[in-house]
Amino acid sequence: MTSIHSIQYLRGFAACAVVCFHVSEQFGGPFDVGAAGVDVFFVISGFIMWVTTAGRPTNPWRFMGRRITRIVPLYWIVTLLTAMGILMKPQFFYDHFFSVANFVGSLFFLPVLQEDALHPIVVQGWTLCYEMMFYLVFTLVLFLGERWRFGVLVGALAAIVALHFVLPAGYARAFTDPVVIEFAAGVVVGRLWLQGARLPLGAGLAMPGAGILLLAAGQWFDAHLPRALLWGLPAALIVAGAVFAERARPFKPDALPTFLGDASYSIYLWHIVVGVLATGVVLRIGIPAALQPVTIIVATLALSAMLYLIVEKQLIALLHPQRPKAAVKARSAAAAGAAE
């Protein structure tokens, strides 16, 4: 089956958008919409989990085990190094909160709550708390017969979101945030894609275009609009349009965006602590103020990508050794890469 190169492109795009958001925030810039890269990741996650498990024998325990060994080791490494950074140079980690309870809770995706929001040691790690919850729900659904999985999974995610509006403040309410429905949107897109649904190229390209326009126009919408609508809906349009446009007109991938997709998890996890280091170096060598944001962005992306090669890729090789090609034929090289 044709590789879904657009998924890799979008993973890289989403990671870069989040980096730009945080650097913009650091300098008081206007790029808040870059945070919507997270919503693109959530939709992609739902898409990938469905595409890589539907229509094939799947061991739920093995599925969850692979999710844990893929996500947790690097997250723990970055959490430990970030905690050390906070203790040594707390002035450089202005929005971080360290305590022993939060350190331990962060390791197990139950960080402290601040204003009813999850606030782990690695601040962007709040998204991984939702990812792990989604993986847990997905694992439980895998125990069902295949014809039941789609309805139960989407229904369960919708029910989780519905609970948000009746639960009191606390962990249960935090983990039922409406952002969870973005995983369901990805699952729906994945099911349609596996069923062979097609769109004309123009319609496929129009959907990401509409999504990007909605993101750009978000500043004029009601500030209290739920994130799942403000950014989740455009993210779903972007992902769906990208995969169906590629189906309508496949393309040969370029090396750089594909590499950024491969490195997106490392870029996402490392970029805050690496950005602190890059900021210190930029200030020390006296780069003009006007050039500081772009210099920090480029340095952060480059160093985070290097850490993908040095750390994450080695962890993958150790914990997920490649099986012989004859033994396994992935539905999609891009999807399998994202799932690994």
Question: What tens-digit pLDDT sequence spans the chain (340 residues)?
Answer: 457 999 999 999 999 999 999 999 999 998 999 999 999 999 999 999 999 999 888 899 999 999 999 999 999 999 999 999 999 988 888 889 999 999 999 999 999 999 889 999 999 999 999 999 999 999 999 999 888 999 999 999 999 999 999 999 899 999 999 999 999 999 999 999 999 999 999 999 999 999 999 999 987 877 678 899 999 999 999 999 999 999 999 999 999 999 999 999 999 999 999 999 999 999 999 899 999 999 999 999 999 999 999 999 999 999 988 765 433 333 444 444 444 4
Residues 219 and 242: their CA atoms lie apart, in Å, by 24
Question: What is the pLDDT, as a whole number, of residue 57?
Answer: 83
Question: What is the pLDDT, as a whole number, of residue 323?
Answer: 60
DSSP 286: T
Whether the Cβ atoms of residue 15 and residue 264 lie closer than 8 Å to each other: yes
Helix, strand and coil in the chain, % to nearest 5: 75, 0, 25
Parallel, antiparallel, or unpaired: how do β-strands 117-118 and 113-114 relate? antiparallel
* 227: enclosing H helix or E strand: helix 227-227
Which tokens go with 272? 């805050």
Q: Which amino acid is located at 259 in the chain?
A: F
Question: What is the pLDDT, as a whole number, of residue 115?
Answer: 87
Question: What is the pLDDT, as a whole number, of residue 332?
Answer: 41
Is 39 buried (19+), middle (13-18) or exposed (0-12) by CB count in 10 A? buried
Q: Residues near 146 by Cβ (< 8 Å), separated by ≥ 6?
A: 54, 55
* 281: enclosing H helix or E strand: helix 264-285
Which tokens go with 288? 């003009």
Burial 248-272 (b: 16+ CB within 10 A, else e): eeeeebeeebbbbbbbbbbbbbbbb
Question: What is the pLDDT, as a whole number, of residue 183?
Answer: 98
Number of helices (H), then strands (E), in the chain:
16, 2
Question: What is the pLDDT, as a whole number, of residue 56?
Answer: 84
Burial 312-339 (b: 16+ CB within 10 A, else e): beebbeeeeeeeeeeeeebbbbbbbbbb
Sequence length of the chain is: 340
Question: What is the pLDDT, as a whole number, of residue 338?
Answer: 40
Residues 271 and 279: their CA atoms lie apart, in Å, by 11
Question: What is the pLDDT, as a whole number, of residue 324?
Answer: 52
Whether the Cβ atoms of residue 64 and residue 132 lie closer than 8 Å to each other: no
* Total of domains in the chain: 1
Which tokens go with 85? 């950074």
Whether the Cβ atoms of residue 300 and residue 23 lie closer than 8 Å to each other: yes
Residue ranges making up the domain that contains 232: 5-339
Closest CA to 127 of 182, 69, 51: 182
Measured at the CA of 12, the angle between CA 11 and CA 13, to 5 degrees, comes to 90
Whether the Cβ atoms of residue 234 and residue 211 lie closer than 8 Å to each other: yes
